[in-house]
Amino acid sequence: MLRFTLRRILQVVPTIVVVALLIFVIFSVVPGTFAASLFADGKRAADPQMIARLNEEFGLNKPLMERFVTYVTDLAQFDLGTSFRTRQPVIDLIGDRMGASLQLAVAAMVFAIVVGVPLGFLAALRPGSILDTVTMIGAVSGLSMPQFWLGLLMMYLFALQLNWLPSFGYGDGSLQNLILPAVTLGVTPLALLARTTRAGVLDVLNADFIRTAHSKGMSEAKVVRWHVARNALVLIVTTVGLQFGSLIGQAVVIEKLFAWPGIGSLLVDSVAIRDIPVVQGTILVIVLWFLIINTAVDLVYAAIDPRIKQE
Amino acid sequence: MLKRLTLAAMLGLGVATGALAAGERHGGTLVFTAPYGSSFATLDVQASPNTQEEFITQAIHRALYSWDSIQNKPVLELASSEEVSEDGTVHTYRLRDNAVFHNGKPLTADDIIYSYKRIANPKNAFPGASYIAVIKGADEFIAGKAEEISGLKKIDDHTLEITYTGPINPGFPLMQNTTVIYPSNVEDESSFAKTPVGLGAFVFKEHVPGSQVVVEKFDKYYEEGKPYLDRINIVLMAEDAARDVAFRNKEIDVSILGPTQYQAYQGEDALKDHLLEVAEVYTRNIGFNPAFEPFKDKRVRQAINHAINAPLIIERLVKNKAYPASGWLPLSSPAFDKDKAPYAFDPEKAKALLAEAGYADGFEFEVTASPNESWGVPIVEAILPMLKKVGITVKPKPVESSALGDAVTSNNFQAFIWSNLSGPDPLNALRCFYSKTAQSACNYASYSSPDFDKLYEAAQQERDPAKQGDLLRQANNIVQDDAPVWFFNYNKAVMAYQPWIHGLVPNATELAVQPYDEIWIDDTAPDARK
């Protein structure tokens, strides 16, 4: 198990290196610079001296290779650089936002698991029933509805019409403000979890060993608890892991819509004004987050199903 | 038509000033939305030229001058009087003796000298440096060739003498949010980025990065009886649709409207009576690059102005949230020429002009454009069939907005569509057509006209505002006739506000920037806000 864990952790390193390289190359070739973005809204006249001063300060007038070497050297020392816009360390900016992003992602995932897994289970145990049909129609709708649109509908219904919840913002960090963005973000993983759980449970229910358990006189409740749940768990854990890993990246739209102060909105803002160190740092953190969750999932299901680590 | 529009702008101003009638009430919380960008970059507002940072600036800071939206001109803010030398270059300021910083330090001349040196410090590369450059000796300081700015002279703690490079109106550059005054007794300057200290009516309380800034009433603010509000939550909401829901749900007090919302709000009884409109000082235009052969000929540029039906686009696409442009200087500019008509929509004349210029068979050009709904790709698509009718083929070249800034300032375009600052200072606005202004500065269409230059230089030296206005009006009309750009429209900014909000003003420089110390809320506000 230790060797398996170490191997999985070491695999993260080359992935991060490749991603860092890609980000650097992409943002070196896309048109537009931070200095030019300061005049992009046309609200002030361009100032060539200031553009030159900023480019010099940020080293943007140096050759690409030299910049790349600096970037990689800093990265190797866990230095994500300094924001062009705020002149603060990128790691601090991300740190300021990470809490809100995690809060949103965890809340969305908890909502998805608590509602999605039982729904999928119940639907699988009663295939063809009304519950099954409604759950699956709901799941397909949930998967196909654009999050932006769903968020607006939620705002309209729960804030404007019913007046139950605030429509936007972080407020004082209370649960009330978290509910709408978390539910909006949680709908896609919920739908996916419901479908996956249903498929996984149906698969197990049709397996030979379940028939054997039934023929040995095991009660329905015991069969579900001992065999079905345990065997379907691997699939559920995988789906939860993958979804949780990608939630922070997916939250970009939701954070913008609900004025939620996470790293998703930080990334969007930074791309728009070409604050490259923040863009690079934020993407790296999102990728790292995804890799860590995936590694954790691998380890968890290696523990659930020992056959996996042999492969 | 223009008279009617001017009247409409004046009426808008009347509505807003009416809201300033007696009955002011103290207390309450204003929830103000910052609709631009979606995060405050830094709370060190000297370091940031972004519009969203102006919302914090108005609450926390003060500059030597401020913008008076009712008089439509800059006025003294931190000084109680100003004496100007005969040649107009030396200004002696008597500073307010009751202005106190939030950290308890009284304002003195040292704070202004310290702040201007900080802004102009070449190591900082701050955006306000170009405004400080109007002070004598600032250029040498910015270039790192001098230890002091020679034009700044402290007479005593409350008297400051500033020598400018010419007989300019220093109110325009020194009212900017990037030229606000900081206290000179703070040891760690980097603390301004997280805990700002100013002279404004509100004290910084909290910043949730990416979400909101909270400020609270400053008890020692120098204007007696102000501010009225106890607290302001300055909230970031970049999405129009989300802002719409929050406004209708009474969670926010003001909302800047886009064209679609403007049309919708006008049709609803509960909303249409609480709209504040103003002709802002921006001119939307398509700039032509004279390096592209057909644009060298004035007749071609004029033909394009005649071939496009701008009022139709404003009506259908921009939903009347704009005023047709008759020249560069907009309606709210003191030098606006109300007698000058816009180019008439006349495709036949356009064809004749093109034929005269040797382009009877037309030509093809591309317009670099951002996705902006009011001055981007959608507008280029609208002019496409109109120009096709006179034989010109237009190709939109879509780019992201920061790439647009890059392409235009590096002269890398055939034509571009943009919205550019054209006020409030007409002298500064027309600088962008002065042949000595670099293309990369703001002479984006590489305009050069000896007649214009002569008038502009005369206006630079003229100290009588009326005479200067006349010269600038004539210069503006030369630009209109030469048509280095397609004159599209002047932005009509629209703000929807809740009925319990009073004291908003039609700020032509940027409607969303409001004087918070003038704003008050009445008894009809929801309980949570009172």
ipTM: 0.84
Q: Shortest CA distance to B173 belongs to which of B65, B49, B98?
A: B65
Whether residue B286 lies within 8 A of chain A, CB to CB, comes out as no
Query: Shortest Cα distance from A237 to chain B (angstroms)?
Result: 32
Residue B22: what pLDDT? 64
Q: Which residues in chain B touch residue A44, judged by CB atoms under 8 angstroms apart?
A: 49, 127, 421
Interface test with B, best of A38, A47, A164 (most B CBs within 10 A): A47
Residues forming a β-bridge with B153: B161
Query: Shortest Cα distance from A154 to chain B (angstroms)?
Result: 10
Q: Looking at per-residue confidence, does A217 or B89 come out higher?
A: B89
Q: Shortest CA distance to B246 belongs to which of A165, A119, A87, A307?
A: A165
Compare all CA atoms of chain A with the CA of B433 and give the residue at the minimum distance.
A45
3-state secondary structure of B438: coil
CB proximity under 8 Å: A 139-198 to B: 152, 155-156, 159-160, 163, 166-170
Whether residue B528 lies within 8 A of chain A, CB to CB, comes out as no
C-beta atoms of B409 and A51 within 8 A: yes
Helix or strand holding residue A45 (H, E): none
Which of B48, B129, B400 has the CB atom closest to A50's CB atom? Answer: B129
Which of B48, B236, B409 has the CB atom closest to A259's CB atom? Answer: B236
| CA separation for the pair A298, A6 (Å, rounded) | 12
Q: Which residues in chain B touch residue A268, judged by CB atoms under 8 angstroms apart?
A: 38
| CA separation for the pair B68, B66 (Å, rounded) | 6
| CA separation for the pair B297, B287 (Å, rounded) | 14
pLDDT mean over A4-24: 83
3-state secondary structure of B135: strand
Residue B9: what pLDDT? 45
Residue B7: what pLDDT? 39
Compare all CA atoms of chain B with the CA of A32 and give the residue at the minimum distance.
B403
Interface test with B, best of A167, A178, A270, A271 (most B CBs within 10 A): A167
Whether residue B432 lies within 8 A of chain A, CB to CB, comes out as yes
Q: Which residues in chain B touch residue A166, judged by CB atoms under 8 angstroms apart?
A: 251
Fill in the amino acid letter for A154.
M
Chain centroid offset of residue A90 CA = 20
Cβ contacts from A onto B, under 8 A: 177
Joined tokens for residue B166: 């010419």
Which residues are CB-neighbours of B454 under 8 A, at least 6 positions away? Answer: none
3-state secondary structure of A115: helix
Whether residue A30 lies within 8 A of chain B, CB to CB, comes out as yes
Q: Which residues in chain B touch residue A156, judged by CB atoms under 8 angstroms apart?
A: 245
| CA separation for the pair B4, B21 (Å, rounded) | 26
Q: pLDDT digit of tens for each residue in chain B (530 aa)?
A: 444 444 344 444 444 444 445 689 999 999 999 887 667 878 999 998 888 899 999 999 999 999 999 998 999 999 999 999 999 999 999 999 999 999 999 999 999 999 999 999 988 888 899 999 999 999 999 999 999 999 999 999 999 999 999 999 999 999 999 999 999 999 999 899 999 999 999 999 999 888 899 999 999 999 999 999 999 999 988 888 889 999 999 999 999 999 999 999 999 999 999 999 999 999 999 999 999 999 999 999 999 999 999 999 999 999 999 999 999 999 999 999 999 999 999 999 999 999 999 999 999 999 999 999 899 999 999 999 999 999 999 999 999 988 999 999 999 999 999 999 999 999 999 999 999 999 999 999 999 999 999 999 999 999 898 999 999 999 999 999 999 999 999 999 999 999 999 999 999 999 999 999 999 999 999 998 88
Joined tokens for residue A276: 């490259």
Compare all CA atoms of chain B with the CA of A98 and give the residue at the minimum distance.
B209
Residue A220 has pLDDT above 90, yes or no: no
Whether residue B384 lies within 8 A of chain A, CB to CB, comes out as no
Which of A33, A34, A261 has the CB atom closest to B209's CB atom? Answer: A261
Compare all CA atoms of chain A with the CA of B40 and give the residue at the minimum distance.
A86
Residue B404: what pLDDT? 94
Please answer whether residues B203 and B60 qualify as being in contact, where contact means their C-beta atoms are separated by less than 8 angstroms: yes
C-beta atoms of A31 and B399 within 8 A: yes
Whether residue A265 lies within 8 A of chain B, CB to CB, comes out as yes
Residue A140: what pLDDT? 86
Whether residue A209 lies within 8 A of chain B, CB to CB, comes out as no
Residue B347: what pLDDT? 97
The share of chain A scoring above pLDDT 90, in percent, equals 31
- Distances, alpha carbon B406 to alpha carbons B6, B50, B445, in Å: 35, 17, 14
Query: Shortest Cα distance from B519 to chain A (angstroms)?
Result: 23
C-beta atoms of B441 and A48 within 8 A: yes
Please answer whether residues B213 and B56 qualify as being in contact, where contact means their C-beta atoms are separated by less than 8 angstroms: yes
Whether residue B443 lies within 8 A of chain A, CB to CB, comes out as no
Q: Which residues in chain B touch residue A160, judged by CB atoms under 8 angstroms apart?
A: 245, 248-249
Whether residue B140 lies within 8 A of chain A, CB to CB, comes out as no
Which of A57, A257, A272 has the CB atom closest to B239's CB atom? Answer: A257
Whether residue A97 lies within 8 A of chain B, CB to CB, comes out as yes
Residue A222: what pLDDT? 74
Please answer whether residues B108 and B93 qualify as being in contact, where contact means their C-beta atoms are separated by less than 8 angstroms: no
pLDDT band at A306 (very low <50, low <70, confident <90, very high): low
- Distances, alpha carbon A267 to alpha carbons A70, A81, B90, in Å: 22, 15, 47
The beta strand positions in B108-201, using DSSP E, are 152-156, 159-163
Whether residue B209 lies within 8 A of chain A, CB to CB, comes out as yes
Residue A299 has pLDDT above 70, yes or no: yes
Q: Which residues in chain B touch residue A260, judged by CB atoms under 8 angstroms apart?
A: 210-211
Joined tokens for residue A241: 């892991």
Please answer whether residues B10 and B87 qualify as being in contact, where contact means their C-beta atoms are separated by less than 8 angstroms: no
Please answer whether residues B468 and B355 qualify as being in contact, where contact means their C-beta atoms are separated by less than 8 angstroms: no
| CA separation for the pair B323, B325 (Å, rounded) | 6
Interface test with B, best of A28, A30, A34, A49 (most B CBs within 10 A): A49
Joined tokens for residue B147: 């230890």
3-state secondary structure of B414: coil
Residues forming a β-bridge with B68: B73
C-beta atoms of B403 and A97 within 8 A: no
Interface test with A, best of B52, B124, B208 (most A CBs within 10 A): B208
Cis peptide upstream of residue B35 (ω within 30 degrees of 0):
no
Joined tokens for residue B75: 């006025």
Residue A7: what pLDDT? 82
Residue B11: what pLDDT? 40
Residue B5: what pLDDT? 40
C-beta atoms of A85 and B41 within 8 A: yes
Whether residue B45 lies within 8 A of chain A, CB to CB, comes out as no
Please answer whether residues A204 and A227 qualify as being in contact, where contact means their C-beta atoms are separated by less than 8 angstroms: yes
Q: Shortest CA distance to A244 belongs to which of A152, A74, A116, A62?
A: A116
C-beta atoms of A265 and B39 within 8 A: yes
Chain centroid offset of residue A209 CA = 36
Instruction: List, in sequence order, the alpha helices (H) in B74-167.
Output: 109-120, 129-132, 138-142
Query: Shortest Cα distance from B100 to chain A (angstroms)?
Result: 27
Fill in the amino acid letter for B25.
R
| Average pLDDT for chain A | 86
Residue A309: what pLDDT? 56
3-state secondary structure of B362: coil
pLDDT band at A40 (very low <50, low <70, confident <90, very high): confident
C-beta atoms of B406 and A262 within 8 A: no
C-beta atoms of B211 and A57 within 8 A: no
| CA separation for the pair A60, A276 (Å, rounded) | 11
Query: Shortest Cα distance from B89 to chain A (angstroms)?
Result: 24
Among A218-227, A243-252, A276-285, B404-413, where is mean pLDDT lowest?
A218-227
C-beta atoms of B421 and A262 within 8 A: no
3-state secondary structure of A48: helix
C-beta atoms of B441 and A155 within 8 A: no
| CA separation for the pair B482, B297 (Å, rounded) | 9
Q: Tokens 């019409």 sit at which residue?
A: A161
Helix or strand holding residue B502 (H, E): strand B501-502
Joined tokens for residue B164: 């400018």
C-beta atoms of B405 and A46 within 8 A: yes
Number of separate helices (H) and strands (E) present in chain B: 16, 19
Residues forming a β-bridge with B501: B521
Residue B3: what pLDDT? 41
Interface test with B, best of A30, A168, A170 (most B CBs within 10 A): A168
Q: Which residues in chain B touch residue A40, judged by CB atoms under 8 angstroms apart?
A: 370, 401-402, 404-405
